[in-house]
Structure 1
């Protein structure tokens, strides 16, 4: 049974790189973003994420569209906000509400967790308003893939009866 919670995500600045490729390359894409953040003297202040809007089953494995990024403390460059530095994009994400669930183990059965969140949203009168985002928590060195922990977040707006 998947535990699903409603969370408020605070406003944050993120550095990211968009990709049209295979999710199997995610570890190298996360490293790339971390390296670009360090090279540009930004400071990561959270865990890496992957965000995608396409249905993973509708697109070929090597043709997935997604962005990989990390929250950073600021994105000022020479005293001015930067929008892009080479392939590194920089943006501010406004505060928003998500339905979230933790997924433990491989990505093989991710769709089951996503489907559980979507079903919960429909049953509980939420509208889905944005892309699925996965937050990747670091694993212990050498730990089995079954121990990997990822939080899946889906942005929503509650459309049901007024709550106190």
Structure 2
């Protein structure tokens, strides 16, 4: 697994929080993208999911995550869609190629890498979806897996 440390610049996003199964993710992505598009905002290319707990630790109905899309322009919270700026931060990141359902071992591997290389994970794992699952075969899907970190010591 190839891992890189990089800085993520301030990123304005529209997002929705959800509690429940991951089967809702495609629907939530579509809803956020539609909201951004309907507002006439300029999408800037990042579609992501931030995951606050794990199916290994809680039942499906207790999974908590947010799904969002980056954009330029001015917008405010409306209904289920909220707007925020994710502040600039450092991540360790790696690329996963293949079905989204196979990303678990990559997340564990990245967490282990962070631990073994003097990083302290300071936030939820984030998956940045680099291509469209409606246009891409599952084995060709690209997901960047990131953990926000600080370097210890």
| TM-score, length of structure 1 as denominator length | 0.86
Distance 1:18 1:125 in 2: 31
Q: Does the alignment pair 1:86 with 2:84?
A: no
Aligned residues: 153
Name segments (4+ residues, structure 1) moved above 6 Å: none
Match of 1:122 in 2: 115
Match of 2:42 in 1: 43
Distance 2:48 2:133 in 1: 18
Deviates more, 1:67-76 or 1:90-99: 67-76
CA contact (8 A) 1:13 1:75 kept: no
**Superposition pairs for residues 5-154 of structure 1, below 5 Å?**
5-76=4-75, 82=76, 84-139=77-132, 142-154=135-147
- Structure 1 unmatched runs, 5+: 77-81
SS at match of 2:44: coil
Shift of 1:110: 1.6
Distance 1:133 1:57 in 2: 17
Shift of 1:141: 5.6
Go from structure 1 to structure 2 and tell me whether the alpha carbon gap of 1:146 and 1:19 turns closer, same or farther (over 3 Å shift).
same
Aligned CA-pair RMSD = 1.6
| TM-score, length of structure 2 as denominator length | 0.92
Deviates more, 1:138-147 or 1:105-114: 138-147
Shift of 1:66: 0.5
- Larger Rg over CA atoms: 1
SS at match of 2:139: helix
